[in-house]
């Protein structure tokens, strides 16, 4: 399968971001999973960063599509085209004809049809063949957990579409739990909270930037606030208001509660020896959602187990896939 000299690729095909890892080079593509298309002809206008900047700003003849939803392919053709574009970006034109093997991650608990769709989309995107790796397992490798050892490690990957909680030991996932509650849901909660409390309508990009700038949960220190722009629901006119970090905390409480429940639920179902290991090693948080202010503290308090954010949480899955590519001999049975 994975030839020794082939330049194998690892792809973290995320709901919000796609990362491409080139064996021997590291992460070479890191772009939003967004495609902008002409509505009548389906012709692609922009992919990645450029397309994300168009969200909420398109005229009638252009539409922005996020082809991944909740960690799985929602729009097959667009996903394949997007992958093709990102794969091409990693190559010098001279080796364009040289087809590569790719390893792509998938959330745990996806159906056979959803797995097939990822493999076929990768092939349609130009891969010679595609192999799958579970996202939580890749996240655990990428955050430096001792996944091959006979010890329990817990990883919580909070992406845009899903939160994946998994306990890993001896090179495999012992137990995992995936919920379709993560960053996107946080953005939607902020949108509806601000509409209800301030009669202000804001877009998804604004909601996400509020979350990144002043989003925090639990005990909020200081008095972070932010000026935001939207449309007044009553007058229909543009308006600027100031919101407080407390607003965002209130808006996010349900979402964060779901994430914490998922972690607790997984801990309750973890075999006792592994649970004991996790009490020592802690809970590792990965994915962009791990950066939400104070989330690590709140998870620590609620579970009574130390939770810590991985280094480069947005890169962990891609690094994990890359590490897997470089140690493919350990995977013979896994990479099917």
Stretch 178-207 residues interacting with Mg ion (CB under 5 A) = none
CB neighbour burial string for 69-106, b if at least 16 within 10 angstroms, e if fewer: bbbbbbeeebbbbbbbbbbeebbeeeeeeeebbbbbbb
Contact partner at residue 215 from Mg ion, ligand ADP, none, CB < 5 to 8 Å by partner kind: ligand ADP
Q: What gap in Å lies between CA 278 and CA 296, rounded to an integer?
A: 15
Of residues 136 and 175, the one with the C-beta less far from ligand ADP? 136
**Shortest Å distance, C-beta 157 to ligand ADP:** 7
Stretch 138-177 residues interacting with Mg ion (CB under 5 A) = 159
**Shortest Å distance, C-beta 90 to ligand ADP:** 18
User: Where on the chain is the footprint of ligand ADP (CB under 6 A)?
Assistant: 14-17, 159-161, 183-184, 208, 211-212, 215, 287-289, 291-292, 314
**Shortest Å distance, C-beta 99 to ligand ADP:** 26
Of residues 14 and 142, the one with the C-beta less far from Mg ion? 14
Of residues 161 and 218, the one with the C-beta less far from Mg ion? 161
Contact partner at residue 291 from ligand ADP, Mg ion, none, CB < 5 to 8 Å by partner kind: ligand ADP
Of residues 36 and 310, the one with the C-beta less far from ligand ADP? 310
Decide: 258 and 179 in contact? Cβ < 8 Å.
yes
Of residues 158 and 299, the one with the C-beta less far from Mg ion? 158
Contact partner at residue 17 from Mg ion, ligand ADP, none, CB < 5 to 8 Å by partner kind: ligand ADP
**Shortest Å distance, C-beta 260 to ligand ADP:** 16
> Taken in order 284, 286, 289, 292, is the CA torsion positive or negative?
positive
Pairing state of beta strands 225-232 and 238-244?
A: antiparallel
Closest residue by Cα to residue 30 from 119, 117, 90, 118: 90
- Supply 273's token pair: 């020896």
Closest residue by Cα to residue 118 from 43, 68, 52: 68
Select from 10, 13, 14, 278 the one that contacts Mg ion (CB under 5 A). Answer: 14
Of residues 8 and 206, the one with the C-beta less far from ligand ADP? 206
**Shortest Å distance, C-beta 18 to ligand ADP:** 7
Would you tell me how many other CB atoms lie within 10 Å of the CB of residue 285?
27
**Shortest Å distance, C-beta 175 to Mg ion:** 19
Q: What gap in Å lies between CA 36 and CA 46, rounded to an integer?
A: 5
DSSP for 183-224 reads: HHHHHHHHHHHHHHHH-EE--HHHHHHHHHHH-B-SSPPS--
Decide: 284 and 140 in contact? Cβ < 8 Å.
yes
Of residues 19 and 87, the one with the C-beta less far from ligand ADP? 19
Contact partner at residue 289 from Mg ion, ligand ADP, none, CB < 5 to 8 Å by partner kind: ligand ADP
**Shortest Å distance, C-beta 194 to ligand ADP:** 16
Contact partner at residue 218 from Mg ion, ligand ADP, none, CB < 5 to 8 Å by partner kind: none
Angle between helices 245-268 and 295-303 (to 10 degrees): 40
Binding site residues, Mg ion, CB under 5 A? 14, 159
């Amino acid at each position: 399968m994975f030839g020794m000299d082939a330049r194998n690729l690892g792809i973290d095909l995320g709901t919000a971001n796609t990362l491409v890892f080139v064996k021997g080079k590291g992460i070479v593509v890191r772009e939003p999973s967004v495609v902008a298309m002409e509505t009548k002809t389906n012709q692609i206008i922009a992919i990645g960063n450029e397309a994300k900047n168009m969200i909420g700003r398109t005229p009638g003849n252009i539409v922005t599509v996020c082809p991944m939803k909740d960690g799985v392919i929602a729009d097959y053709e667009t996903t394949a085209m997007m992958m093709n574009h990102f794969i091409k970006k990693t190559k010098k034109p001279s080796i364009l004809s040289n087809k590569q093997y790719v390893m792509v991650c998938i959330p745990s608990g996806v159906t056979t049809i959803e797995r097939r769709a990822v493999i076929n989309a990768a092939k349609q995107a130009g891969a010679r063949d595609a192999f799958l790796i579970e996202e939580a397992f890749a996240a655990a490798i990428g955050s430096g957990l001792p996944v091959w050892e006979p010890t329990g490690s817990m990883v919580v990957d909070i992406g845009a579409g899903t939160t994946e909680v998994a306990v890993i030991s001896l090179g495999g996932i012992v137990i995992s739990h995936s919920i379709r509650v993560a960053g996107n849901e946080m953005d939607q909660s902020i949108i509806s909270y601000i509409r209800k409390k301030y009669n202000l309508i804001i877009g998804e990009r604004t909601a996400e930037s509020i979350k990144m700038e002043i989003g925090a949960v639990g005990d909020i220190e200081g008095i972070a606030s932010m000026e935001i722009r939207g449309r007044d629901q009553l007058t229909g006119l543009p308006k600027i208001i100031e919101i407080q970090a407390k607003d965002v905390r209130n808006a996010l409480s349900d979402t964060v509660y779901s994430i914490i429940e998922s972690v607790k639920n997984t801990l309750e179902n973890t075999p006792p020896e592994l649970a004991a290991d996790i009490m020592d090693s802690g809970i590792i948080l990965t994915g962009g959602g791990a950066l939400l202010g104070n989330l690590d503290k709140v998870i620590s308090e609620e579970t009574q187990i130390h939770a810590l954010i991985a280094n480069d949480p947005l890169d962990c899955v891609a690094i994990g896939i890359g590490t897997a590519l470089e140690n493919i001999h350990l995977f013979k049975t896994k990479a099917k």
